[in-house]
Chain A
Amino acid sequence: MNDIVIQVDNVSKYYRLGVIGTGTLSHDLNRWWAMLRGRPDPTLRVDQAQKKANDNYIWALKDVSFEVKQGEVLGIIGRNGAGKSTLLKILSRVTAPTTGECRVKGRIASLLEIGTGFHPDLTGRENIFLNGAILGMTKEEIRKKFDEIVAFSEVEKYIDTPVKRYSSGMYVRLAFAVAAHLEPEIIIIDEVLAVGDAAFQQKCLGKMRDVAEGGRTVLFVSHNMAAISRLCSKVLLLHKGTTYGYGNTEKIVDEYMIIDKTKGLSWNRTSPYPDKPHIRNIRICNSDGSPCLAPTSSSQFGVEIEFYTPGISPKLSLGLAVHNRELSPIFSTSPIDCGINLPQQKGVYQTRVIFPEAIFMPKEFSLTVALYTPGGESYESLINVIAFVIEENMSLANVLQSGRWGDLQILCDWKPINKIG
C-alpha cells in the first residue's frame, strides 16, 4: 500500500536520575506498608512531592514522531544528550518507550556497538557464528555468508586463532565484517565508523553506501557531518529530547550548526587521562583573557587552550584550525608561527591565541584543536570541538550594500585610483 517501513509515533522516554538499587527494598517495603494502612506515601513529603518529581526524572525523549520510507538512509544528529542513543535503543528493543509507539515493517538489526558478545577464548570462526546469531542471523545464513565475511575482514590467516590474540584493529575489522553482512531490511548504526584505520573506514563507508543503494533502510547516528552529508538522504535533528528539525540533509545539517552555538563557547575534558599529552580546556576569550560570550564581526577575540604534557622528549606541537560552516578548514595557526615552542617539562599549561581584529564575517565557524609531535604521534585531535557564530556588527561586512563574499573580511590595501585614459 505505502512504502513506509518505520513509523515512530509520539515516542517519549523518561529516566529516573540518581542511583537506583540500594535502599529501594526498604523504600518499597515502606511504601507498601503505608499503602496497606491507607496512609500517603511516606517517601514523598507533600511540599516536596512536586519538586522531587521534577528533579529526579528527565525526559530523554519527548513526543518524537517521524517516518522512514523503504530504502531511505536517515541520519540522526544532535548534541550529546539530545536523545539519539535513547531513540536507537527504543528502536532496537533494548529498552521500551514510556509512551508512544513505533511500528516497523521487516527485520531490524542494530549495531549500537560492534563485536557484541565476542568471547575472547573463541576463535575468529567461532565468534563469527556467535556474533552473527546474536545479531539475529540463523546458522544457515551465516554459513552462506561466511567466506564473504572473512574476506571483508582481512583476517583469513588468523581465523582459527582465539580473538584474544588479535590486534585491536583485527578485532574491530572482524566485528564490523559480521555486522556489515547482516541482511535485515532495516539496519541501525551508531557511529561504528569511528573504527579502524583510514583505509578501513573508507571501506566501511563504501559498504554502507552499498547497503543503502541495495534498497535497504538505514538509520545512521553520527557526529560526523561529512559522513552524514555523504550517506544520508534525510536527517532528523534532535535537541534536548525533542525533534528540532527533520527534512533534507543540507538544510538540517545547517540547523545543527546553528543550535550548536548554544554548546557554549568552551569545551572541557571531563575525565582527564594521565600520562599522555592532552587538552583540558578550550574557550573563546576576549583579548584580555576574559570569557567572550558573543564574538562579533567587529570585535577582537581569541582562544584560550589549557593542556597537559607529561614531559616527553620529542617536541610537542599545538595546532588550531578554523572551519567554515561547510566544515572546510579556512586557515590554521600554531604557536610556532610566533617562535613559541611548547614546554618539555611535565605540567599543565595555558596559552592564548588572539585572532586579528574583525576578520570574521558574520557567519558560523568551528574550531579544531590538535596536539601532536611533528611527523610522529597524534595525541589529540578535537575536530570541530567548538562552534561559534559571529554576530553582525558594523564592519567591512556591512560596507557593501550588495553583501560580501567569503568567510573572512580582510581589509586590503587599495591604492588611489588614477585616471589613465
Chain B
Amino acid sequence: MHTDTDITSNKEWDLIIRPKTRWFDLHLGDLWRYRDLTMLFVWRDFVSTYKQTILGPLWHLITPLLTTLIFTVIFNRIAEIPTDGLPPFLFYMCGLTAWNYFADCLNRTSGTFVTNASIFGKVYFPRLTVPVSVIISNLVKFAIQFLLFVSFMIYFGVRGSQIHPNLFILLTPYLLIVMAAIGLGVGIIVSSLTTRYRDLQVLVGFGVQLLMYATPIVYPLSTVSGKYRWLLIINPMTPVIESFRYAFLGNGTFSVMHLLYSTGATLFVLFLGILLFNHIEKTFMDTV
C-alpha cells in the first residue's frame, strides 16, 4: 500500500530534492529552460569586456599576429621545420586560430566553480549555463581572429602562394562544434576536480601549452613518423586541426576515420564531463 501512494504522490511533486541524484540524471532539460540566462551571460561577457575600452577587440588581433610572427621566426627560420609546402605564416596562423578557440574554451571553463562560487552559493540555476555561455562568447573572439586569418589568406592568395581552399570549408561549423565540445568537456572535468584539488587549476594553463606541442600546430602531422605518431593520432584535437588546415589551405592530413575517432572521443569526454559536473554541482558548496 505504501509503495502505491509513493508512486502516485511522486507524480504530483514538481521537484524532489534528494541527497544525491543518480549519476545518469543529467537534467539537460533545465539547461534548455534557462537558455535566456545563457544568452544573457554571453551578452554580459561581451558588454563588460568591451565597455570602456577603445582597443578592446583589437587585442584579439595583436596577440595572434605576434605569436604567428614568433613561430615563423623560431620554428621555420631557425628550426627549419617544414610546413607541408604551405607559406609558413599562414600555416601557423591557421593552426593557432583554431587552437586558440579550443584553448580559451578550456581555460575559461576550467574555473567555473571556483570563480562563480559566490553566485552559486546563493541561488540555483543550472550550473552548466555558465560554461556553455563561455563557449558561445568565445566565438566572438574566434570570429575576429578568423577574419584576420581569412584576410591574410586572401592576401597570400592574390600574391600567388600555393594555397587551395576547397569545399571542405563547409566542415568548419562541425570542426568548431567539436573543438567547443572538447574544450567544454575537459574544462568542466577540470572545474569539477578543482573543487577538491585546487592545484589542478594551476596545472591547466601550463597543461594547455604543453598540449599545443602535442598537436600539430607548429609542425604538420605528415612530418611525424615512427613510434610517437600514435601519440598525435590519439589526441582528438589533431584531426580537427589537420582538417581545418586542409580545408582552408589545401594541404594536410585529412582522414574521415581520424575525424570520426575525434568526434567519438569528444562525445565521450563531454559526456564524462557533464556527469562529473552534475555530480559535483550538488555538493561543491560544502567543499569549495
Tell me the A residues contacting B by CB distance below 8 Å. 1, 7, 15-16, 20-22, 24-25, 28, 89-108, 110, 112-113, 116-117, 119, 121-122, 126, 129-130, 133-136, 138-139, 162
Contact = CB atoms under 8 A, between A and B. Distances in A.
A126 B36 CA distance: 13
A186 B125 CA distance: 16
11 contacts: A1-B12, A96-B17, A96-B283, A102-B16, A103-B16, A105-B13, A112-B122, A113-B123, A121-B47, A121-B52, A139-B40
Contact of A122 (B12, B48, B124, B125): B48
Contact of B124 (A110, A121, A129): A110
Contact of B196 (A24, A135, A136): A24
A97 B287 contact: no
A182 B125 CA distance: 15
Contacts of B121: 89, 94, 112
A50 B124 CA distance: 36
Contact of B123 (A21, A102, A116): A116
B25 interface: no
A102 B287 CA distance: 22
Given A92-B124, A97-B19, A126-B47, A104 B14 contact: yes
Given A25-B197, A89-B285, A94-B122, A102 B51 contact: no
A134 B123 contact: yes
Contact of A94 (B15, B19, B285, B287): B285
B286 A136 contact: no
Given A105-B14, A129-B40, A21 B120 contact: no
Given A94-B285, A103-B13, A138 B36 contact: yes
Contacts of A139: 36, 40
B37 A133 contact: yes
Contacts of B34: 133, 136
Interface in B17-72: 17-20, 34, 36-37, 40-41, 44, 47-48, 51-52
Interface of B: 9, 12-20, 34, 36-37, 40-41, 44, 47-48, 51-52, 119-125, 196-199, 282-283, 285-287
The 5 closest A-B pairs by CB, nearest first: A93-B124, A96-B282, A133-B37, A102-B17, A103-B13
A16 B286 contact: yes
Nearest to A117: B119
A33 to B, nearest CB: 16
Contacts of B198: 21-22
A105 B47 contact: no
B123 A96 contact: no
Contact of A108 (B15, B16, B37, B44): B15
Nearest to A106: B14
Contacts of A90: 17
B129 to A, nearest CB: 9
B78 to A, nearest CB: 40
Nearest to B9: A103
A134 B122 CA distance: 10
B16 A116 contact: no
Nearest to A101: B18
Contact of B13 (A97, A99, A104): A104
B12 A105 contact: yes
A408 B198 CA distance: 60
Given A24-B196, A104-B14, A135-B123, 7 more contacts: A96-B18, A103-B17, A110-B122, A110-B124, A117-B123, A121-B52, A126-B44
Nearest to B48: A121
Contacts of B41: 130
A21 B287 contact: yes
A24 B124 contact: no
Contact of B286 (A15, A105, A106): A15
A116 B119 contact: yes
A393 B196 CA distance: 57
Given A113-B122, A122-B48, A25 B17 contact: no
A167 B40 CA distance: 25
Contacts of A20: 196, 287
A20 to B, nearest CB: 5
Nearest to A135: B123
Contacts of B16: 101-104
Nearest to B20: A96
B19 to A, nearest CB: 5
Of the listed residues B17, B120, B199, the one surrounded by the most CB atoms of chain A closer than 10 A to its CB is: B17
